[in-house]
Amino acid sequence: MPPDRAALHVVALCGSLRGEESSTQRALRIAVQEMEANGATVDLIDLAELSLPFCESSDHTDDHPGVRALKERAAKADVFLLGTPEYHNSFSGVLKNALDLLSSEELRGKLFGLLGVGGGDMGAVTALGHLRYVVRGVGGWSLPAQVSIANAWKAFDGDRVKDPELEKRLRSFAKELVRFGRLYALEPKFEAGLLRVIDEDPAEE
Ligand SMILES: Cc1cc2nc3c(=O)[nH]c(=O)nc-3n(C[C@H](O)[C@H](O)[C@H](O)COP(=O)(O)O)c2cc1C
């Protein structure tokens, strides 16, 4: 049976608190458009709206309404898209705090796409490398492809990316995330079928 194209749900977390002005959020919004055009449902979470506490221990924070909302929304994800600005050669503390407030229940075994923006010529390559390490720490799988936007302050004209090549890269990254998300969602069924074939003993035939 072909996979249900509408069934893939992506949760995108924006690691900048600057709302609509944020280049991270602008890039995420374009990625969201592309993922929706490819049949995924997407929940773009603006962490500023949740007024999250600092992570302390789940005993202290799980009852916080913002944490409850974050956990409920994150639990629905088949795939995560993490967007971050580069801050002092790494990803934002806001994003790390949000990930720390979540647990393996919401994160483990899921696919992650990584996108970053930086004010300088180097973009967010270092931040994305660090984030990849954290994805490993939560038991997630990160898509090899990523998008790093350099000179973020001049990369956008309103909600539009100025450089058509960069826009193309951003959109094909978003499309690839949906594509691999679907393949990954099929994996348990595929594995079950494969094991049936492997377990067949040719001597019994
Ligand atoms: C605390 C802080 C540290 C930053 N450190 C870096 C950095 O190391 N490298 C860089 O390229 N840009 C750095 N920037 C610039 C941001 O990456 C840039 O302004 C980016 O657009 C912010 O993302 P936003 O527009 O989504 O909020 C820093 C900005 C702040 C506020």
Question: Strand 160-161 to strand 156-157: parallel, antiparallel, or no bridges (unpaired)?
Answer: antiparallel
Atom 3, ligand 1: residue with shortest CA distance: 87
| Residue with CA nearest ligand 1 atom 23 | 85
Task: Pick the range with the lowest mean pLDDT from 122-126, 142-146, 168-172, 191-195.
Answer: 191-195
| Atom 12 in ligand 1: residue holding the nearest Cα | 119
Instruction: Calculate the average pLDDT of the chain.
Output: 93
The pocket around ligand 1, CB under 6 angstroms, is made up of 16, 18, 22-24, 85-89, 117-120, 122, 152-153
Per-residue pLDDT tens over the stretch 142-187: 999 999 999 999 999 999 999 999 999 999 999 999 999 999 988 7
* Distance, CA of 158 to CA of 174 (rounded, Å): 20
Q: In terms of pLDDT, which residue wins out, 194 or 40?
A: 40
Q: Is the pLDDT reported for residue 205 higher than 90?
A: no
Closest atom of ligand 1 to 120 CA is: 11
Q: Write out pLDDT tens, residues 33-78.
A: 999 999 999 999 999 999 999 999 877 888 999 999 999 999 999 9
Residue having the nearest C-alpha atom to atom 8 of ligand 1: 88
What CATH code is assigned to 5-204? 3.40.50.360
Q: For residue 115, give the nearest of 87, 85, 140 by alpha carbon.
A: 85
Query: Looking at residues 83-108, what average pLDDT do you find?
Result: 97
Protein residue whose Cα sits closest to atom 18 of ligand 1: 119
Closest to 92 measured CA to CA, from 143, 135, 130: 130
100 alpha carbon – ligand 1 mean position (Å): 21
The span from the CA of 31 to the CA of 79, in Å, is 13
- Nearest Cα residue to 134 out of 76, 65, 84: 84
Question: Which residue from 16, 25, 86 has its CB within 8 A of the most atoms of ligand 1, so it is best to mutate?
Answer: 86
**168 contacts: CB under 8 Å, gap ≥ 6:** none
